[in-house]
């Protein structure tokens, strides 16, 4: 049974037990409705408590029902029955009360939270708005502007903040016992939120509306939520929930909601072990060695420190080591200052990191990750020294972005222990982790990497070995088309503007300036000749050779002076020079062509990667690009976006590009043809 009943001192406790997250499946909704209805006619029941077994309160809807027609009883039926009860109903919350879970709690007359609980309405992250009164009850309970901010951002608040806001009535050690006492002693007088109204401070609300539109980056749902709250302020609850439900049903059928559901499931699928790996248990990882105390190495170290593990950092000399350790301490102090962690957490994490300059210090590490210069010769020397000191069973990981991990593994006596862990900078913040499986990588290394991803709050994607793996191989195609667009008549500013309007976090030329144009330059020097289009990166190379490295040098595709960003005249001159040398006559290029060329370059390369077995599925391609490369989440990833365009249309366009001057870079994969044929 998903809901069981307990009578405690005249209080009916409805225990939801629907692991793993007590989702609001149809049987849970039916059992809750039945429990509340039966209690109404039971004279022995003074009050009701709704709570959950397991590790959390109701953490939202049942994902199995996502995208399917809803079945009765509908959630609004349940919340209305709860609120209309003549007997006090109290929500006893632990873990998370999210989405429909919080809507259930808001319908209750009182709310008690355990310490550490989190409460939120994250529906906009799935392209929706709350559909069972959440947008109407929350602003009737707490400050309407704060409520609107919670609804439009989807971000939860913790129990302490929830109590300050008035979202919960109490925070208790024994939240169920506290809820029982309230349910059997308090009145429902004035506690039905549907009997209240809410009004907006116009100036504050419009400021929030502007910020919401900016942060949405083209996503529709946050703005729709803003419009709904604006429209329903001052109206009756009945009018408000009618508008809310209509909008919810409209959004549920939208392309945006479908795309967000797609990436939701894709992220969960990417963390599963490959099908050919049997029932293998991950190795226990307690101490992690990190070689290289630069920006990347420190970020990787913090990833494991944040998860409570011990980290030993290795550098070539004391000066470099001290600088890295100081960077870690400074980063944690900044987190304390901003209220992200406590001083006790800072102290514990700093205590767990130590440093050395001798490889022998890594001899007791369970996992050793090299994060040194992107050069095969350098990495060869490093992994050979790791191999000489690492204990039996230790996993050896490389953070390379492009290099051949099969070749790196061959430099060791235990290639089965070697795996790629490609972190994205800043490593302690970015969610994506490419787990690169070389030809001889053993199953224990793979499942351990996936377990570590979960433990460190990363989203893993298993990739095979090729230059750039999944993400950077696709990035090369994207950068290629962006560079060729410059030759044909676009400017860096126009390309960046068109792609940020599409929803990309940044344009390719702004990204190059941020990361350093010399990074790609050095990678191309290591790459196999003929693996990229030189005309596409000729401007990049000229900028690097002239000392324009991006933000770190004060100029790249743009100049950076006193915080102001402007087109770099030197870059524009190099573009003109490249056009002249290529005998290219610049033409007018539309924003739509910029989006089409760059996006379909990603899609075409993505299908090739799947065909070659580098990625397990097109879903994994989407996970990589949404979480590592700033692709707009509300579009579901490049492969999801291609399906929205219609794969037959995509195929025709790719074939047209294949007939152009740079058509050799647009070979059509059999996988794309098959998918387009099946539509």
pLDDT at site 63: 75
User: Is residue 67 predicted with pLDDT exceeding 90?
Assistant: no
pLDDT at site 320: 96
In this prediction, residues 339-357 reach a mean pLDDT of: 96
Specify the 3-state DSSP secondary structure of 289: strand
List pLDDT tens digits, range 534-560: 999 999 999 999 999 999 999 999 999
Supply the CATH number for residue 588's domain: 1.10.1040.50
Output the CA–CA distances (angstroms, integers) from residue 295 to 321, 326, 352, 511, in the order listed.
12, 12, 19, 17
Q: How many residues does the chain have?
A: 679
- Are residues 309 and 212 both part of a single domain? no
pLDDT at site 447: 98
Dump the DSSP string for 335-404.
HHHTTSS-HHHHHHHHHTEEEESSGGGGTT-SEEEE---S-HHHHHHHHHHHHHHPPTT-EEEE--SSS-
Dump the DSSP string for 73-91.
SPHHHHHHHHHT-SS-EEE
Specify the 3-state DSSP secondary structure of 270: helix
In this prediction, residues 224-230 reach a mean pLDDT of: 98
Q: Is residue 226 part of a domain?
A: yes
Q: Is residue 262 part of a domain?
A: no
Question: Which residues make beta-bridge pairs with 356?
Answer: 314
Supply the CATH number for residue 359's domain: 3.40.50.720
pLDDT at site 424: 94
The encoded tokens of residue 2 equal: 């998903």
Q: Is residue 582 part of a domain?
A: yes
User: Is residue 103 predicted with pLDDT exceeding 90?
Assistant: yes
What is the sign, positive or negative, of the torsion defined by CA atoms of 105, 106, 107, 112? positive
Question: Which residues make beta-bridge pairs with 558?
Answer: 567
User: Is residue 659 predicted with pLDDT exceeding 90?
Assistant: yes
Domain boundary among 418, 439, 463: 463
pLDDT at site 25: 95
Classify residue 22 by burial, with Cβ atoms within 10 Å: 0-12, 13-18, 19+.
buried
- Are residues 247 and 353 both part of a single domain? no
- Are residues 515 and 443 both part of a single domain? no
User: Is residue 68 predicted with pLDDT exceeding 80?
Assistant: no
Kindly report the number of other CB atoms within 10 A of residue 393's CB atom.
11
User: Is residue 70 predicted with pLDDT exceeding 90?
Assistant: no
User: Is residue 655 predicted with pLDDT exceeding 90?
Assistant: yes
Question: Which residues make beta-bridge pairs with 560?
Answer: 565
pLDDT at site 628: 96
- Are residues 452 and 487 both part of a single domain? no
Residue 663 DSSP one-character state? G
pLDDT at site 530: 84
Name the average pLDDT for the chain. Answer: 96
User: Is residue 278 predicted with pLDDT exceeding 90?
Assistant: no
> Does the predicted TM-score (pTM) go above 0.85?
yes
pLDDT at site 578: 95
List pLDDT tens digits, range 286-307: 999 999 999 999 999 999 999 9
- Are residues 408 and 301 both part of a single domain? yes
pLDDT at site 273: 95
Q: 155-173 as b/e, with b when 16 or more CB fall inside 10 Å?
A: ebbebeebbebebbbbbbe
User: Is residue 66 predicted with pLDDT exceeding 90?
Assistant: no
- Are residues 488 and 514 both part of a single domain? yes
265's CB contacts (< 8 A; 6+ apart) are: 63, 66, 619
User: Is residue 487 predicted with pLDDT exceeding 90?
Assistant: yes
List pLDDT tens digits, range 428-462: 999 999 999 999 999 999 999 999 999 999 999 99
- Are residues 356 and 478 both part of a single domain? no
Query: What would you report as the CA-atom Rg of the chain, rounded to the nearest whole angstrom?
Result: 28
pLDDT at site 547: 96
Higher pLDDT, 530 or 8: 8
Q: Is residue 450 part of a domain?
A: yes
The encoded tokens of residue 187 equal: 């009145």
pLDDT at site 1: 86
- Are residues 595 and 512 both part of a single domain? yes
pLDDT at site 658: 95
- Asked if residues 644 and 259 have their Cβ atoms less than 8 Å apart, the reply is yes
Supply the CATH number for residue 131's domain: 3.90.226.10
List pLDDT tens digits, range 119-146: 999 999 999 999 999 999 999 999 999 9
pLDDT category, 72, cuts 50, 70, 90? very high
pLDDT at site 612: 97
- Asked if residues 578 and 469 have their Cβ atoms less than 8 Å apart, the reply is no
The encoded tokens of residue 655 equal: 């074939």
Kindly report the number of other CB atoms within 10 A of residue 198's CB atom.
23
pLDDT category, 61, cuts 50, 70, 90? confident
The encoded tokens of residue 12 equal: 């009916």
**Catalytic amino acids?**
103, 123
Domain boundary among 210, 233, 253: 253
Query: How would you classify residue 133: left for phi > 0, otherwise alpha for psi between -120 and 50, otherwise beta?
Result: left
Put the strands of the sheet holding 11-16 in their side by side order: 3-8, 11-16, 47-52, 89-93, 110-114, 170-172
- Are residues 175 and 132 both part of a single domain? yes
- Asked if residues 504 and 543 have their Cβ atoms less than 8 Å apart, the reply is no
Domain boundary among 253, 273, 298: 253
- Are residues 430 and 370 both part of a single domain? yes
| Rounded distance between C-alpha atoms, residue 524 and residue 526, angstroms | 5
- Are residues 457 and 488 both part of a single domain? no
- Are residues 480 and 373 both part of a single domain? no
Specify the 3-state DSSP secondary structure of 111: strand
User: Which of 421-425's residues contact partners 24+ apart within 8 Å by CB, and which partners?
Assistant: 421/369, 421/397, 421/449, 422/463, 422/469, 422/471, 423/296, 423/299, 423/300, 423/303, 423/371, 423/399, 424/471, 424/628, 425/295, 425/296, 425/299, 425/515
Q: Is residue 211 part of a domain?
A: yes
pLDDT category, 418, cuts 50, 70, 90? very high
List pLDDT tens digits, range 567-597: 999 999 999 999 999 999 999 999 999 999 9
Q: Is residue 546 part of a domain?
A: yes
Query: 289 φ, ψ to 5°?
Result: -95, 135
User: Is residue 240 predicted with pLDDT exceeding 90?
Assistant: yes
| Rounded distance between C-alpha atoms, residue 614 and residue 169, angstroms | 52
List pLDDT tens digits, range 501-533: 999 999 999 999 999 999 888 888 877 888 889
Number of domains in the chain: 3
| Rounded distance between C-alpha atoms, residue 423 and residue 435, angstroms | 9
Q: Is residue 640 part of a domain?
A: no
Q: Is residue 361 part of a domain?
A: yes
Which residue range(s) make up the domain with 494? Answer: 471-613+646-678
């Amino acid at each position: 049974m998903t809901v069981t009943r307990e009578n405690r001192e005249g209080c009916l406790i409805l225990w939801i037990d629907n692991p793993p997250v007590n989702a609001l499946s149809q049987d849970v909704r039916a059992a809750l409705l039945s429990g509340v209805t039966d209690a109404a006619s039971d004279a022995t029941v003074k009050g009701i408590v709704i709570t959950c077994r397991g590790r959390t309160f109701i953490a939202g809807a049942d994902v199995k029902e996502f995208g399917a027609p809803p079945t009765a009883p509908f959630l609004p039926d349940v919340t209305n029955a709860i609120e209309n009860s003549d007997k006090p109903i109290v929500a006893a919350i632990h873990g998370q009360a999210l989405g429909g879970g919080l809507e259930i709690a808001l319908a209750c007359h009182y709310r008690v939270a355990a310490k550490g609980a989190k409460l939120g309405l994250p529906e906009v992250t799935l392209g929706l708005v709350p559909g069972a009164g959440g947008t109407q009850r929350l602003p009737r309970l707490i400050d309407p502007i704060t409520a609107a901010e919670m609804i439009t951002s989807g971000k939860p608040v913790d129990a302490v903040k929830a109590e300050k806001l008035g979202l919960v009535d109490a925070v208790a050690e024994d939240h169920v016992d506290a809820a029982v006492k309230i349910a059997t002693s308090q009145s429902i007088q004035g506690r039905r939120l549907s009997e209240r109204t809410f009004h907006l401070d116009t100036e504050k609300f419009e400021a929030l509306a502007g910020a919401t539109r900016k942060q949405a980056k083209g996503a529709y749902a946050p703005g729709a939520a803003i419009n709904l709250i604006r429209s329903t302020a001052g109206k009756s609850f009945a009018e408000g929930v009618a508008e809310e439900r209509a909008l919810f049903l409209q959004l549920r059928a939208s392309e945006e909601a479908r795309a967000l559901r797609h990436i939701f499931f894709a992220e969960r699928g990417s963390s599963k072990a490959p099908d050919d790996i049997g029932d293998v248990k991950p190795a226990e990882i307690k101490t992690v060695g990190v070689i290289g105390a630069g920006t990347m190495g420190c970020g990787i170290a913090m990833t494991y420190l944040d998860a409570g593990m011990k980290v030993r950092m290795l550098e070539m000399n004391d000066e470099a080591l001290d600088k890295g350790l100081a960077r870690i301490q400074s980063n944690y102090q900044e987190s304390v200052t901003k209220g992200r962690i406590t001083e006790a957490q800072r102290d514990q994490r700093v205590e767990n990191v130590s440093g050395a300059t001798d490889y022998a210090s890594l001899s007791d590490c369970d996992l050793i990750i090299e994060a040194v210069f992107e050069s095969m010769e350098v990495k060869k020397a490093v992994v050979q020294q790791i191999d000489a000191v690492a204990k039996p069973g230790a996993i050896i990981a490389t953070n390379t972005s492009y290099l051949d991990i099969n070749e790196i593994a061959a430099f060791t006596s235990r290639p089965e222990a070697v795996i790629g862990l490609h972190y994205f900078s800043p490593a302690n913040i970015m969610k994506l982790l490419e787990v690169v499986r070389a030809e001889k990588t053993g199953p224990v290394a793979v499942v351990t990497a996936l377990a570590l991803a979960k433990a460190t709050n990363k989203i893993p994607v298993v990739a095979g070995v090729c230059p750039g793996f999944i993400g950077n191989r696709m990035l090369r195609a994207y950068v290629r088309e962006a560079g060729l667009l410059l030759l044909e008549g676009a400017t860096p500013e126009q390309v960046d503007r068109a792609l940020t309007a599409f929803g990309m976090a940044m344009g390719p030329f702004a990204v190059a300036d941020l990361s350093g144009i010399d990074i790609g330059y050095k990678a191309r020097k290591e790459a196999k000749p003929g693996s990229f289009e030189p005309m596409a990166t000729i401007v990049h190379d000229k900028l690097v050779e002239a000392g324009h490295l991006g933000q770190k040098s004060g100029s790249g595709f743009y100049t950076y002076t006193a915080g102001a960003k402007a087109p770099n005249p030197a870059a524009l001159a190099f573009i003109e020079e490249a056009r002249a040398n290529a005998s290219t006559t610049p033409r007018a290029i539309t924003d739509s062509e910029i989006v089409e060329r760059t996006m379909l370059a990603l899609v075409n390369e993505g299908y090739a990667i799947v065909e070659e077995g580098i990625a397990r599925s097109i879903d994994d391609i989407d996970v990589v690009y949404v979480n590592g490369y700033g692709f707009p989440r509300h579009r579901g990833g490049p492969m999801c976006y291609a399906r929205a365009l219609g794969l037959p249309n995509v195929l025709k366009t790719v074939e047209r590009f294949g007939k152009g001057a740079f058509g050799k870079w647009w070979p059509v994969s059999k996988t794309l043809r098959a998918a387009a044929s099946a539509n």
